Amino acid sequence: MSDLSDLYQSVILDHNKRPRNRGKLPTANRVASGDNPTCGDNCTVYLQFDGERIGGISFEGSGCAISQASASLMTTQLKGKTPAEAEETYKRFSEIVKTGNAPEDFDELAAFAGVHTFPARIKCATLSWHAALEALKQPETKP
Ligand code: ZN
């Protein structure tokens, strides 16, 4: 098990060091922001929604390591998904973060299972996901 937690630790460190899909997405047609005042995190998610699927996704923001790594992971997980699939993925992530119950097979989402022992940080981990789901509900905007 400790090998697995090392592996999960390295997933978070890696997303912190090399955030994926960070910065404005020039082709975005949906955008939403969220913040987490208790920790000082903020996150804006840019989505390119093609009417069926998330064709492109990026984020901008600042805050603690958990919030930034989670935002980076979120973009890699939601790209290519339909809104229903995105919702489903978020539910899985939120369940892991809140309960610490990780699936038996390796799953990048489970890297954040340790967050459940710090209830105040759960909002850090889910901030960007809320923003992404919110962006999907927004009316189309011109970039
Ligand atoms: Zn935070």
Say how many Å lie between the CA of residue 72 and the centre of ligand 1. 14
Q: Which residue has the higher pLDDT, 108 or 130?
A: 130
Say how many Å lie between the CA of residue 126 and the centre of ligand 1. 10
Q: Is residue 47 part of a domain?
A: yes
pLDDT at 1: 47
Q: Which of 74, 71, 51 is nearest to 61 (CA)?
A: 71
- How open is the CA angle 61-72-50, to the nearest 5 degrees? 95
Tokens of 134: 């919110």
Average of per-residue pLDDT across 30-45:
97
Q: Is residue 133 part of a domain?
A: yes
Share of the chain above pLDDT 90, in %: 82
Give the chain's domain count: 1
Q: Is residue 143 part of a domain?
A: no
Say how many Å lie between the CA of residue 123 and the centre of ligand 1. 7
Q: Is residue 123 part of a domain?
A: yes
Say how many Å lie between the CA of residue 101 and the centre of ligand 1. 21
Q: Model-level pTM?
A: 0.93
In terms of residue numbers, what domain contains 99? 3-137
